[in-house]
Structure 1
């Protein structure tokens, strides 16, 4: 029997943080950091589906969802800042053993957490989170040009993307007929409503500008996979303009024993193919050491 999701708040270094939690308090834990432009809301269905046997915890990052938005001079709104926050959040909750879900920008935060304390990691679930630059999809072409020419022009381009239409494209782009209509418009309307303040828009632009900093981490993340060989499940939607099929199969270079499943969706697989993802995840988590 599933259990209700609990909606909680926590002070993390002076930041009022909203997070969702489900499942028994003493059950094996799955940590769910979210990506752009999402929030813990994107994990709601997965959390319910796992709540009979696993504890799931999904925070809203600072400046996202229902968490506070500290001033930019107090919080960097960079990948480094968000990675440090995730580690502080884990410590504030007293979590010392967990599997980590790696998706979108959240994959970068989760990888750094895993690298900082490998012995705490029981396993990884990778869902459209890339660390292989040579397998970037066509939607990265525009980003590469912005990365190569940073400055006011690039900032204006990022700002144009931080919009309701931009969010709609992030959530519903590239999906084939028969799949696109499974993406609820709640995703872009809710997240735009939550992120449309001038302060949050400016912070999002800053985070987008900082994305090139993640490229230097890719070799270190791949080295972590080779050295520590974490138990890994890959569930992937190949209809993804950023992270197509090759971005998933590339993980086999460093984790040849990883379980890999290419499903029929795209970047937001939990909205379109949850019924296929859940049995795979339940089977995988059930085989992890507590």
Structure 2
């Protein structure tokens, strides 16, 4: 099953926004917020596989991919959620399923909390979790910077924003057999789009993980209260989000479907057919 991906631009507030879209305009919608250090490019292979039955929409955040990087934007998890809210309203998307991956998870979850009635279902794939005790060992390196004075913390984070670190992010905890499925385009492309301003944006966002920790209870309350139909598709070979991170969601979503695949953080690169097949089955039952 294939469908053409269309590449479009739209004005969202003061942000010249690039987005990818596939599928019929009147089909049930799947919203695809991207992770870090990526863009809507991460969904380029998934969208054609589901576009025969669903309308898939993947924007680039301000300061990422091919969207603009305005000076007066709030580059935080809250700011990105407000942007997504304006984006879906601009496109007239009133109900949709959410794909939550990496930083797209806390951003998308904030969007869901704004208007729970819009969320038909969620697919969680190695998303940043709201469970402190189930984070992977790599998170300890980030938490260590929180003890530093602000200027020193930002300087430490700035040193970690380079092409080699981008490569490490995409190859996260994979052995050679799995890592050779990750195309170097991911880190080469996204590093080529980094400007001095975008580097500051990345520092702001990573530093914001400290403040995001205080938001965990609100995320958990949303899950437990609304219990949206949920498919959890996880790659346990992930230093940030290992298997225990996936299983933590079952505390508040006991009815969720959990599938562990033999991959890592970027399953759409290594296990595309398996993920798209699971999504097709799940969405066919809850969002047809």
- TM-score calculated relative to the size of structure 1: 0.97
Runs of 4+ in 1 over 4 A off after TM superposition: none
Tell me whether 1:48 sits opposite 2:48 in the alignment.
yes
Equivalent position SS for 2:146:
helix
Match of 2:112 among 77, 99, 114: 114
1:21 — aligned with what? 21
* Offset at residue 204 of structure 1 (A): 1.0
Distance 1:215 1:186 in 2: 32
Distance 2:35 2:149 in 1: 23
1:243 — aligned with what? 241
- Equivalent residue runs for 1:87-236 within 5 Å: 87-129=85-127, 130-195=129-194, 197-236=195-234
Deviations 1:101-151, CA, capped at 9 Å, x for gaps? 011111011101111111111100000111111111110111111122242
Deviations 1:171-220, CA, capped at 9 Å, x for gaps? 0121023101000000000000012x111111111111111121122111
Once the two structures are overlaid, the 10-residue window that deviates more, 92-101 or 144-153, is 144-153
1:12 — aligned with what? 12
Distance 1:46 1:249 in 2: 24
Equivalent position SS for 1:227:
helix
Cα distance change on mapping 1:14 and 1:279 into 2, 3 Å: same
Query: Unpaired runs of 5+ in structure 1?
Result: none
2:281 — aligned with what? 283
* Offset at residue 289 of structure 1 (A): 4.2
Q: Is the Cα–Cα contact under 8 Å of residues 97 and 287 in structure 2 kept in the other structure? A: no
Distance 1:45 1:11 in 2: 25
Cα distance change on mapping 1:168 and 1:289 into 2, 3 Å: closer
RMSD (Å) for aligned C-alpha atoms: 1.0
Distance 1:150 1:78 in 2: 19
